[in-house]
Copies of this chain bind each other. A is one copy, B any other.
């Protein structure tokens, strides 16, 4: 920057202003400075800018898994909004571990990110403590947190699962199973299972433990869960796969075994993955506002940075998409 100032024959301050608030300078000075910038190929040092101004243009986002296409949509939403605002995204995945999440939060706070977007709604006490102390605004996106650390922008996993179960019942299915991810370590899975059970209560159907399964992630797990459940409860006529790509795995397995879907067994999924609307048959599922969650999260953080004090708790809802598989 010194070189630019020298080349343009002005002070450092003028260069700084030409870059940040060009309208405050006279036309000539501005032009002279910006020309010099271009000529020299000067790239400002944001690190120094951040240090001096005690602000940063970086937002940190932590998702459970970078590879999972579900989270990617939310990341895309935040990335788009941040880029438009000239800000950067720092991304990391916690591998579904709270301890890992804590370490990442520490790293992000050390980097002085100006905001955090966390998919998880559970955190270690130390993580919460760090967030509190640092004062960075935080948005939790994975579930509509009952009592968020700071802000929450999401949909309700509980409501969504309940709605899908009721939808299946309304279409005439008598014995509906639910396959979710392991609920012990995953609150979202837990909420979905609770939603399913809540629907059964509304329907006055007694829950059957053989119809409530928990499995690991992946297509193979979904396939196996379906086969297991059908063999143990031959009367089951619909299965709600409440997570991941379980429904896809189950559908392929059904094709392989030539089980008619939905004739022999109906299949419903959770997220509206692209495959689900192209598969044969097209798969009924929930549509969740993942991209929008990302966008709104970034926007809310930016609002906060600009001084808005509002602490948002936003339910962006969901939609049941009825297709051929149920």
Binding site for B on A (CB under 8 A): 41, 43-48, 50-51, 56, 58, 66-67, 69, 72-73, 75-76, 79, 83, 86, 88-93, 104, 106-112, 129-130, 133-134, 218-220, 223, 245, 248-249, 252, 255-256, 274-275, 278-280
Distance (whole angstroms) from the CB of A60 to the closest CB of chain B: 8
Given A46-B112, A280-B252; A90-B92 close (CB under 8 Å):
no
Residues of B with C-beta under 8 A to A223: 278
What residues of B have a CB within 8 angstroms of the CB of A133 in the complex? Answer: 41, 43
One of B91, B256, B274 near A79 (C-beta < 8 A): B91
Q: Which residue of B lies closest to A111 (CB)?
A: B46
Determine the chain B residues whose CB is within 8 A of the CB of A79 once the complex forms: 66, 91-93
Instruction: From known contacts A66-B79, A69-B69, A90-B89, infer whether A41 and B279 are also in contact, taking CB-CB under 8 Å.
Output: no
CB distance from A103 to the nearest CB of B (A): 8
A234 to B175, CA, bound (A): 47
Other-chain residue from B45, B110, B280 in contact with A112 (beta carbon distance below 8 A): B45
> Pick the contact of A110 from B45, B51, B89, B92 — CB < 8 Å?
B45
Cβ A110 vs Cβ B72 within 8 A: no
Q: Can you list 19 pairs linking A and B with CB atoms under 8 Å apart?
A: A41-B130, A43-B109, A43-B130, A43-B133, A46-B111, A47-B50, A47-B51, A47-B56, A58-B111, A66-B79, A67-B72, A72-B72, A79-B91, A88-B90, A88-B92, A88-B111, A90-B91, A219-B274, A252-B278
Say yes or no: A66 contacts B76, CB within 8 Å: yes
Given contacts A79-B93, A252-B279, 4 further A-B contacts (CB under 8 A): A41-B130, A43-B133, A72-B72, A218-B274
- Give the most central of A45, A75, A278: most B CB within 10 Å: A278
Say yes or no: A76 contacts B67, CB within 8 Å: yes
**B90 to A43, Cβ gap below 8 A?**
no
Closest Cβ neighbor of A279 among chain B residues: B252
Whether B129 pairs with A41 at a CB distance below 8 angstroms is: yes
Chain B residues contacting A220 (CB-CB under 8 Å) are 278
Closest to A129 in B: B41
Taken together as a complex, chains A and B put the C-alpha atoms of A50 and B88 apart, in Å, by 17
Complex Cα–Cα for A280 and B75 (A):
31
Question: Nearest Cβ distance between residue A186 and chain B, in whole angstroms?
Answer: 20
B278 touches A219 (CB 8 A): yes
B110 touches A43 (CB 8 A): yes
Least CB distance, A225 to chain B, in whole angstroms = 14
